[in-house]
């Protein structure tokens, strides 16, 4: 027996600089159609769009260690956009309104999935997030690796497709 989950309910981030990071994430969440459920001096929790994002300041005694995506733990997380143009609009918002560090502007990534299109950015603490669009059912649909007549699973990460 197996259970098919219905996505990820929420993600929680701990940040070194809550005074910069909380407004960054709250503003981005509002742009993404989410609403603030909890807002305090050291925490903001936004929900909506079948997603929840809680950002809180790390305890003072644990702050000061910079984010490193190559350490054990979170590498990055990715919001899924409904259409390709949404990725472009979010990129403009990240640049114009949030002055986000853009790791890469919107670009095609066919090595990840058919039609993959994304923007990758960092918050003020250097935590990486992505917004992508994959048309149709991606790897699970026609033409996808796991779709009907697909090639099946890859044997290593980074292999095209």
pLDDT tens-place string over residues 102-132: 999 999 998 888 899 999 999 999 999 999 9
Contact status, residue 35 vs residue 48, Cβ threshold 8 Å: yes
pLDDT tens-place string over residues 135-155: 987 777 887 778 888 888 877
Which tokens in the block code for residue 110?
Answer: 């066919």
The structural domains of the chain, ordered by start, are 7-59 (3.10.180.10), 75-147 (3.10.180.10)
State pTM to two decimals: 0.88
CA 12 to chain centre: 12
């Amino acid at each position: 027996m197996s259970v098919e989950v219905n996505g990820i309910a929420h993600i929680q981030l701990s940040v070194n600089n809550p005074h910069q990071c909380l407004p960054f994430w709250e503003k981005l969440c509002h742009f993404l159609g989410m609403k603030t459920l909890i807002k305090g001096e050291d925490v903001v929790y936004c929900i909506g769009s079948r997603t929840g994002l809680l950002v809180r300041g790390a305890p003072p005694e644990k702050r000061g260690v910079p984010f490193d995506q190559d350490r054990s733990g979170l590498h990055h997380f990715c919001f899924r956009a409904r259409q390709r143009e949404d990725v472009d609009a979010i990129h403009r918002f990240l640049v114009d309104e949030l002055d986000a560090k853009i790791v890469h502007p919107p670009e095609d990534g066919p090595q990840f999935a058919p039609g993959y299109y994304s923007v990758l950015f960092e918050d003020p603490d250097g935590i990486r997030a992505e917004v992508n669009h994959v048309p149709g059912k991606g790897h699970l649909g026609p033409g996808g690796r796991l779709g009907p007549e697909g090639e099946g699973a890859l044997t290593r990460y980074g292999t095209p497709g």
